[in-house]
Copies of this chain bind each other. A is one copy, B any other.
């Protein structure tokens, strides 16, 4: 069985292949789509709503000629009243679909699903765990926009404690040569020790900074993230953190001409709308790339390609 559970599961060569496939997918999508997955059904099984991610996957499946059965209300499957386990739900849905794209609120849910599924499972975010397709599309965007990843200086800005996309991207970047990371976070949400320990182990250079202006001048990629109100105990705690870092035209002026700004979206106020028209504002192109990366991953899952792994192998890999 062929699952996409974690950004960790891909090695450098597989990433190169994936990105090449994504480019081919884009080419085909622009020419009106493919019928590679005609007759195949994707189940979008969302235990919490995320219309953006769901739409991106559904669009990818349809661009490949497949069809979709979909719910953002999957919690009722294993609701308190009915008391079904996630494992039972997944076994049943394996009968209805050829691939399961799952969003869940609990860490490790994707692995649990993969262990019992009789069809491939793609993790579309499991709580504070992983959201591998997001970090893959982030990385793909960097490579596509700048032509390479090796040797780049990448700043990550915002809530670095809770932002799982930031952690996963950091792990992925560690697979490349000579990347330097700059973590710029409000005092209340620094990059976690475990991420730093990982980077230390891999020999990746990183810096914890507080001065965004200084960092903006030197980096190739400014990866901005939202400060999530729901993570903070009080409104004033939130506002203190949220107001600290912002990309606006003056900051943009300091950035290199061939740098890019990324954001997983949605944004709150951390990037001023005036920035949108600048060619370095790559975040909407980044969203679009998500469709091509997901097309590539769906094709791999259903065509028995590169991502194949049994869950035992995956599990030990992800330890």
The residues of A with any CB-CB pair to B shorter than 8 Å are 32-33, 39, 41, 43, 49, 51-52, 54-56, 58-59, 62-63, 67-74, 76-78, 81-85, 87-89, 91-93, 95-97, 226, 229-230, 265-269, 273, 284, 287-288, 290-291
Contacts and interface: CB of A to CB of B under 8 A. Distances in A.
B291 A84 contact: no
A82 B266 contact: yes
Given A83-B266, A229-B81, A92 B59 contact: no
Nearest to A71: B51
A88 B266 contact: yes
Contact of A95 (B58, B69, B84, B284): B284
A217 to B, nearest CB: 27
A78 B41 CA distance: 30
B41 A59 contact: yes
7 contacts: A41-B63, A49-B76, A55-B93, A83-B229, A83-B266, A85-B273, A91-B287
A29 to B, nearest CB: 9
A311 to B, nearest CB: 16
Copies of this chain present in the complex amount to 3
The 5 tightest CB contacts between A and B, nearest first, are A84-B266, A95-B288, A59-B96, A83-B268, A33-B39
Contact of A55 (B33, B43, B59, B83): B43
Contacts of A97: 55, 59
A97 B288 CA distance: 10
A56 B92 CA distance: 9
Contact of A88 (B55, B88, B265): B265
A83 B269 contact: yes
A147 B57 CA distance: 41
Given A39-B32, A62-B69, A71-B51, A81 B284 contact: no
A289 B54 CA distance: 28
Nearest to A265: B92
Contacts of A56: 95-96
A48 B141 CA distance: 33
Nearest to A230: B81
Given A266-B88, A287-B95, A76 B51 contact: yes
